[in-house]
Amino acid sequence: MKILIVEDEPKVVAFLKQGLEELGYETAIAEDGKLGQELIQQQPYDLYLLDVLLPFVDGNQLCKLVKEKYPSSPVIMITALGTLQNKLDGFDAGADDYLVKPFEFKELVARIKVLTKRGIRADEKSQNILKVSDLELDLDKKMAYRTGRQIFLSAKEFALLEFLMRNSGRVVSRPEIAEKIWEITFDTGTNVVDVYINLLRKKLHRENETKLIQTRIGHGYILEQD
């Protein structure tokens, strides 16, 4: 598996390159956003590790470029910017995961494995189209549609929406979502589930449209017609 690392801190680059290659991953390096942009344009990679604060072109712009060219390719943002708004900006750009520096290398590896394993499983499954009300999810093309309009989703948003649609009419808890989508034990100190639910709502719910994703206070979320 080949990973593109776009990072301008030499020590971080050396740390990531050595650790990943020791595990058998192949890496390509871009030390600024302009070079990263060129490498993204040249060929697809199996996974992208993007810093946010980069010379010339920032990581969020690079993430958007990746998702435009290779919508199903996973992107992990790695940055010192750890506020909620920073994370929302990254997720809005299409990022599938977000790691705040400093982080444990084994945590990065675990997240890489989750994202790449999910991609393999998705390729192996028998695909079809899920429908709930006027919402459709094409599992072959990895696209969502509502009342005929196309909705662009990151890989993580797509996985979350698929999970909600497969469980439509049933309340799913935050711990259940965290386990199924992120394959992690839910940490009450994190708001990643709520962040992704809000991102989905912004994309699915336009003015005068039925609000499909409902909150059940103290229990979790349910996808159904209001």
Co-location of 82 and 143 in the same domain:
no
Instruction: Give this prediction's pTM.
Output: 0.57
Q: Are both 112 and 59 inside the same structural domain? A: yes
How many beta carbons lie within 10 A of that of residue 189, not counting itself? Answer: 5
Domain boundary among 81, 102, 123: 123
For 148-183, the pLDDT digits (tens) are 788 989 888 999 999 999 888 889 999 899 888 887
Model confidence band, residue 207 (pLDDT cutoffs 50, 70, 90): low
Q: For residue 104, give the CATH number of its domain.
A: 3.40.50.2300
On whether both 131 and 144 belong to a single domain, the answer is: yes
The answer on 172 and 213 residing in a single domain is yes
Say if residue 20 is in the same domain as residue 85. Answer: yes
Shared domain for 88 and 164, answered yes or no, is: no
Residues 166 and 143 in one domain: yes
Torsion of CA 169, 175, 179, 180, to 10 degrees: 10
pLDDT of residue 72 exceeding 90, the answer is: no
Q: Are residues 60 and 114 in the same domain?
A: yes
Residues 97 and 25 in one domain: yes
- Closest by CA to 30, choosing from 45, 12, 46, 13, is 13
Domain finish residue from 69, 91, 123 = 123
pLDDT above 90 as % of the chain: 43
Tell me which residue range forms the domain holding 33. 2-123
Q: CATH code at 204?
A: 1.10.10.10
Domain count, the chain: 2
At 94-130, the pLDDT tens digits run 899 988 888 889 999 998 988 887 554 444 444 578 8
Same domain as 115, residue 159: no
Domain final position from 79, 105, 123 = 123
Query: Both 18 and 113 in a single domain?
Result: yes
* 200 contact partners, CB below 8 Å, separation of at least 6: 153, 157, 160, 161, 164, 213
Considering the domain architecture, whether residues 90 and 199 belong to the same structural domain is answered as no
